[in-house]
Structure 1
Amino acid sequence: MSDDAATTDQSSCRGASAFEAQSSRSLRDFIDTESMSAGLLVAAALVALVWANSPWSQSYVDLWHTELSIRFGSGGLTMDLHHWINDGLMVVFFFVIGLEVRKEFAIGELTDRSRVVVPLVAGTTGMLVPAAIFLALNPSGAESAGWGAVIGTDTAFLLGVMALVGPAVSTQLRIFLLTLTVIDDIVAVSVIGIVYSDDISAGALLVAAACLAVLVVLDRYAVWQAAPYVLVVVVLWVATLESGVHASIAGMVSGLLVPALDPRRSDVDAAATSFRAFRQSPMPGVQRAARRSLTRAISVNERLQEALHSPTSHVVVPLFALANAGVDLRDGVLGDALGSRLMWGIVLGLVVGKAVGIFVGAWASVRLGWGRLPQGVGLGHTLAGGALSGIGFTVSLLIISLAFDSSRLQDEARVGVLLAAGLASLAGWLAFRFAARVLGQRDAALPTLLSRPVDEERDHVLGPVDAPLTLVEYLDYECPFCARVSGVGEELRAHFGDRLRYVTRHLPLPVHPHAELAALASEAAARQDRFWDMHAVLFAHQDELELEDLVGYAAQIGLDVERFMRDLDDDELARHVEHDVASAEESGVRGTPTFFIGDTRHIGPHDARTLIAALESAAVAR
């Protein structure tokens, strides 16, 4: 196997979601980055609190009031450091959120709209209930403006605390909560941009609208270079600042307009060809061409996320915490806060409202049949996750700085946010213990066992049916990574001989429009005992899977074409494919290719060397 093919084999296609083991590498990287960010966030908040209550507290105040200017001739921007962070750096943070939301809707968890219903309902009730509790305690006056502080969730903080107090394996719950926080983020940023903006400038808004139109055009024409997007986003940010609308909405909306696509086979092949050319001729011009083709193979959305996610999580968000969490609790401020309806409105809204709202929304939507929770996630998990969602922190602190002009109200509200973070963490820990000990809901993970054993009468088996070793592959004929690993099967059979039987099952993914028809074509060929011939032809022509192409392939491999076309419409073949898809769902399969060694899902890379080692281990364990 070539180096580039081996590298590609570490990937998998994404349907409703992308998984390697329990989840995709990009999703695991996102979770890991957010979890690490939580530690920095806590450290920065503690430093801010200590600093603001120390003998040097005035230096804390003076630092954030220091003005910084960027001049271009006679024009430019002048803001103090506090506003540069809140209105500048935080725009990058919301831009990354927008990128992630676009990616999830395009090629991630939210491509399968049926999976969105429960978190959508839970996320909605998880905002309405906290807001209702807050307004019940603060129905009027200046304090009522703070209702927006209880609707958002700090994703980084939530994931970090879950790593400490949640189940040992909580992949499915994390994905559910990430989907839910996507909804939170969209609403919270919309509230910031619409409710907490003032002194609107129509001219600047027109410029901002023109920038959004340019982003739409760049998306429509699939411009793959990052520079045009970045340039337009910078202009959009300045225009939004001048318009009076809070710049966070510019970050979120612009991120939503940056395209996210799965790597196309043609682009991946072109990158591999360019890489081989550079290896043979390491010249500057060849290097530039290889770098260009490698860059083009990955969507601009994912490249920008790769570049910005770590800096925003590890630098921007902790800086924001340092600039906004420093509440001077001396001179009666803490006592006033504890007696304040504003503070308790925030605490009860976040700690009680989030837990109750998310749990009730999830329970009601499941009970009414609108959707279902992810495999491995129970209602006890949703209660615990809802409790942890009461950690509002970043978004809550930002809204507080916009909602109140009074420093007294800001301090009381910030005390509420900090207290709510601690109480929500404790409530989440208690709820997880309850779910584990009383409800028996421990790990929130996907199944790892093959739900339906190999059936020699219906499954397609290559090799002796009584071979001691079994390798089952769930595949999609339009998935380029399945085509890449088709050669791996040959290497495995050459290595193990009659000791191995190789079994295929179908998992046509929603993102591949021709995959289901191709699966039916292979089954129609199987009725004429030519499954493996059609199997090879389909992988050799992944970009040509229209009906007329399939008919041509049937003739090419010597099938009775009229019978083949009749069989394509046979409901029994459709049920066969549906049976495979159902077995994949029950077995925790969410992407292709996915392998099972015997009856256990293979976790890790699926190159020939790794699979040989896994099969040898299975042989030893027999």
Structure 2
Amino acid sequence: MLRAFLRTEAGSTALLLAATVLALVWANSPWGATYDAFWHTPTGISFGDATFSLDLRHWVNDGLMTVFFFLIGLEVSYEVRLGQLRDRRLIAVPALAAFGGMLVPAGVYLLLNAGGPGAGGWGVPIATDTAFVLGVLAVVGARCPDPLRAFLLTLAIVDDVLAIMIIAIFYTSSIAVPALIAAALLLAAIVTLRWLKIWRAPAYIVLGFALWVATLESGIHPTLVGIALGILVFVYAPTDHKLLLAGEAVQEFTSEPSAQAAREAARRVQRAVSVNERLQLRLHPWSSYVIVPVFALANAGVPLDGESLRAALTSPVSIGVALGLLLGKFAGISLGTWLPLRFGWGILPGNLVWGQLLGGAAVSGIGFTVALFIVDLAFDDSAIHTQAKIGILAGSLLSALMGWIIFRLAWDRGGVCAPPEAEPDEELPDRLAVPVGPTDHVRGPKGAKVTIVEYGDFECPYCGRLQPVLEELRRKNSDIRVVFRHFPIRTLHPRAASAAIVSEAAADRGRFWEMHDILFDNQRFLTDADLEHYAAELDVDPWSDVSGHAARISLHEESGRDSGVRGTPTLFLNGVRYQGPLDLRSISQAVEDLRGSP
């Protein structure tokens, strides 16, 4: 039970919350003086006469948090090369939402603090705490859709990158040039090892630690080393050759089990997966369940006595941070979401509605980890330091409350993020809700005796395997026609929606089925560059009318949901949902049965 609990976002969020509460209790207990005394305990490393020493809080903030940012770098690298950040239309909306969610909170803060002693804290309310946001979504209702989580995760990645850039540019006080040169040389050495394909973990660990020390001495915050090294780690999709070798090794172990065969199988399977993904798998639990909670314990212990609270109630710093998180984040993310959708610059990763998006915008005002991090960089005055932290706590709590209220209102209005107990077991319809019409994509004779309607997804491997079956059916039977309707599963296949849009652009030129075949023949190569290449081959402008084509795809999806479609591929034979195996013999038999029916 405990292990299952810790695997969830709610589990890591609960640990973070527990560490925060413990820090607050400790700092406000009769032993509160020991809180700062403990975290200011100096600890260091000595090499003969040379010493390197930091207090415990700086070891946490400058050392352990480097691993946290290293993990962000790994995630950014993966998403850019293999994930959702490859598709510019899928990232356009959350990226602009993240940008708005930083500009507006900073503006709200500066309206109250420009020219004052707290003006430098404008960066405090700009960052979203991903762990808390996902934890709140898990608590608010398990029926909140996966596309909302995907949207907020993409937003959080962009948010983290922008926050790190702001830390590097605006919160670096002075530069030590010799140390900076040393850091640049060490980074070049790491890049050289990567270029030479020398994969020796000890070499990277030694050079990475030296780079961290040099960066710390240079005056630039050393957590930037984390994200830089994370981005440099190799990420790649498993090649067919490596998958084949791994499969052969596993098969050999299955047929003749031995320690040597088990070792070889484990080695081959491991090599099939990129170092980036393996490091994410190993480091994510340490970051979520150890590093971030320890960071909260070291930084969230703010005095909440009467004097501190009275000062915070009238402090422009506290009010600016709280309002920046509560109202600035909500307004900035909402506006940053609306603009690209209004002008057709991007699409959402699913059939999200505004009730869900506004709830996500509200909970994105929970700023904690990076906000506390920037407080430590922005303020030297302990009183302002305390006021900023109180603002963070107040703004984050109010943002969580506002998000919960928005989600509850959405539930009451009939189904947005409805809790499980509010919905009975679904009985799916088995009839085609929208008959085949002149706007459908049809392959085959108009008067065909059997019409097969497929709801499909260009990135779905099962849809890809079905295409030769349907073509063989059409080849052997002149009285069959095939209709294709779009049903992209965006949460599983981030490039499916883009491929669907390009196929609709081809349809405008009367070349839908040519593009259909190209896309299914190249399912593993559906990046923007790939799609543009396929479109050029057919003399098609792929992005000529993104909003119009997206609307057409949405009509297909709506008709699919009304027909009981929940996955791909789903077939309807003469308007009735087919529920048998998707092989040639089974579908052929179903077609023969239809021919024989009156």
TM class by smaller structure: 0.7 to 0.9
Tell me what 1:165 maps to: 140
The answer to whether the 8 A contact 1:222-1:259 is kept is: no
Pairwise mapping of residues 299-448 of structure 1 onto structure 2 (< 5 A)? Answer: 299-330=274-305, 332-437=307-412, 441-442=416-417
C-alpha deviation, 1:404, in angstroms: 1.0
2:161 to 178, 181, 186: 186
C-alpha deviation, 1:100, in angstroms: 1.0
Further displaced range: 249-258 or 347-356: 249-258
Tell me what 1:564 maps to: none
Task: Provide closer, same or farther for how the CA distance between residues 601 and 193 of structure 1 changes in structure 2, counting only shifts above 3 A.
Answer: farther
Task: Provide closer, same or farther for how the CA distance between residues 213 and 128 of structure 1 changes in structure 2, counting only shifts above 3 A.
Answer: same
Tell me what 1:114 maps to: 89
The answer to whether the 8 A contact 1:474-1:504 is kept is: no
Q: Deviation per CA, 1:303-326, whole angstroms, max 9, x where unpaired?
A: 110000111001111111111111
The answer to whether the 8 A contact 1:196-1:402 is kept is: yes
C-alpha deviation, 1:238, in angstroms: 2.1
What is the SS of the residue equivalent to 1:70? Answer: strand
The answer to whether the 8 A contact 1:71-1:77 is kept is: yes
Task: Provide closer, same or farther for how the CA distance between residues 443 and 466 of structure 1 changes in structure 2, counting only shifts above 3 A.
Answer: farther
The answer to whether the 8 A contact 1:126-1:354 is kept is: yes
What is the SS of the residue equivalent to 1:245? Answer: coil
What is the alpha-carbon distance in structure 2 between the residues aligned to residue 276 and residue 82 of structure 1? 51
C-alpha deviation, 1:343, in angstroms: 0.4
Alignment of 1:81 with 2:56, yes or no, is yes
What is the SS of the residue equivalent to 2:118? Answer: helix
C-alpha deviation, 1:156, in angstroms: 0.4
**Which residue type is aligned with residue 149 of structure 1?**
V
Tell me what 2:28 maps to: 53
C-alpha deviation, 1:293, in angstroms: 1.8
What is the alpha-carbon distance in structure 1 between the residues aligned to residue 413 and residue 254 of structure 2? 60
What is the alpha-carbon distance in structure 1 between the residues aligned to residue 280 and residue 524 of structure 2? 29
Tell me what 2:113 maps to: 138
Further displaced range: 414-423 or 363-372: 363-372
What is the alpha-carbon distance in structure 2 between the residues aligned to residue 51 and residue 366 of structure 1? 47
C-alpha deviation, 1:208, in angstroms: 2.5
TM-score, normalised via structure 1 length:
0.70
Pairwise mapping of residues 23-42 of structure 1 onto structure 2 (< 5 A)? Answer: 33-42=8-17
What is the alpha-carbon distance in structure 2 between the residues aligned to residue 348 and residue 395 of structure 1? 17
TM-score, normalised via structure 2 length:
0.73
**Which residue type is aligned with residue 122 of structure 2?**
W
Tell me what 1:66 maps to: 41
What is the alpha-carbon distance in structure 1 between the residues aligned to residue 125 and residue 133 of structure 2? 15
1:127 to 60, 79, 102: 102
Task: Provide closer, same or farther for how the CA distance between residues 202 and 483 of structure 1 changes in structure 2, counting only shifts above 3 A.
Answer: farther
Q: What percentage of aligned pairs have identical amino acids?
A: 40
C-alpha deviation, 1:291, in angstroms: 2.8
Tell me what 2:236 maps to: 261
C-alpha deviation, 1:44, in angstroms: 0.8
The answer to whether the 8 A contact 1:275-1:290 is kept is: yes
Task: Provide closer, same or farther for how the CA distance between residues 601 and 159 of structure 1 changes in structure 2, counting only shifts above 3 A.
Answer: farther
C-alpha deviation, 1:351, in angstroms: 0.5
**Which residue type is aligned with residue 42 of structure 1?**
L
What is the alpha-carbon distance in structure 2 between the residues aligned to residue 259 and residue 66 of structure 1? 38
The answer to whether the 8 A contact 1:505-1:580 is kept is: no
C-alpha deviation, 1:358, in angstroms: 0.9
C-alpha deviation, 1:233, in angstroms: 3.2
Question: Structure 1 stretches of 5 or more lacking a match?
Answer: 1-28, 494-500, 544-567, 572-577, 616-622
What is the SS of the residue equivalent to 2:52? Answer: strand
What is the alpha-carbon distance in structure 1 between the residues aligned to residue 221 and residue 176 of structure 2? 12
What is the SS of the residue equivalent to 1:142? Answer: coil
What is the SS of the residue equivalent to 1:405? Answer: coil
What is the alpha-carbon distance in structure 2 between the residues aligned to residue 372 and residue 192 of structure 1? 30
The answer to whether the 8 A contact 1:33-1:310 is kept is: no
**Which residue type is aligned with residue 314 of structure 2?**
G
1:244 to 210, 219, 224: 219
C-alpha deviation, 1:107, in angstroms: 1.1
What is the SS of the residue equivalent to 1:332? Answer: helix
What is the SS of the residue equivalent to 2:375? Answer: helix
What is the alpha-carbon distance in structure 2 between the residues aligned to residue 453 and residue 207 of structure 1? 69
Task: Provide closer, same or farther for how the CA distance between residues 83 and 585 of structure 1 changes in structure 2, counting only shifts above 3 A.
Answer: farther
Pairwise mapping of residues 551-562 of structure 1 onto structure 2 (< 5 A)? Answer: none
What is the alpha-carbon distance in structure 1 between the residues aligned to residue 50 and residue 350 of structure 2? 56
Q: Deviation per CA, 1:153-210, whole angstroms, max 9, x where unpaired?
A: 0000011112222572321111111111111101111222232223322222223223
What is the SS of the residue equivalent to 1:79? Answer: strand
What is the alpha-carbon distance in structure 1 between the residues aligned to residue 163 and residue 301 of structure 2? 23
C-alpha deviation, 1:454, in angstroms: 8.8
Further displaced range: 449-458 or 277-286: 449-458
**Which residue type is aligned with residue 133 of structure 2?**
L
Task: Provide closer, same or farther for how the CA distance between residues 488 and 91 of structure 1 changes in structure 2, counting only shifts above 3 A.
Answer: farther
Task: Provide closer, same or farther for how the CA distance between residues 47 and 582 of structure 1 changes in structure 2, counting only shifts above 3 A.
Answer: same
Pairwise mapping of residues 198-597 of structure 1 onto structure 2 (< 5 A)? Answer: 198-217=173-192, 229-282=204-257, 285-330=260-305, 332-437=307-412, 441-442=416-417, 458=442, 474=457, 586-587=556-557, 594-596=568-570
What is the alpha-carbon distance in structure 1 between the residues aligned to residue 150 and residue 519 of structure 2? 34
What is the alpha-carbon distance in structure 2 between the residues aligned to residue 600 and residue 67 of structure 1? 73
What is the alpha-carbon distance in structure 2 between the residues aligned to residue 259 and residue 485 of structure 1? 31
C-alpha deviation, 1:509, in angstroms: 8.6
What is the alpha-carbon distance in structure 1 between the residues aligned to residue 247 and residue 323 of structure 2? 56
The answer to whether the 8 A contact 2:453-2:485 is kept is: no
Aligned-residue Cα RMSD (Å) equals 4.8
Task: Provide closer, same or farther for how the CA distance between residues 457 and 196 of structure 1 changes in structure 2, counting only shifts above 3 A.
Answer: closer
C-alpha deviation, 1:134, in angstroms: 0.5
**Which residue type is aligned with residue 402 of structure 1?**
L
C-alpha deviation, 1:441, in angstroms: 4.3
The answer to whether the 8 A contact 1:354-1:390 is kept is: yes
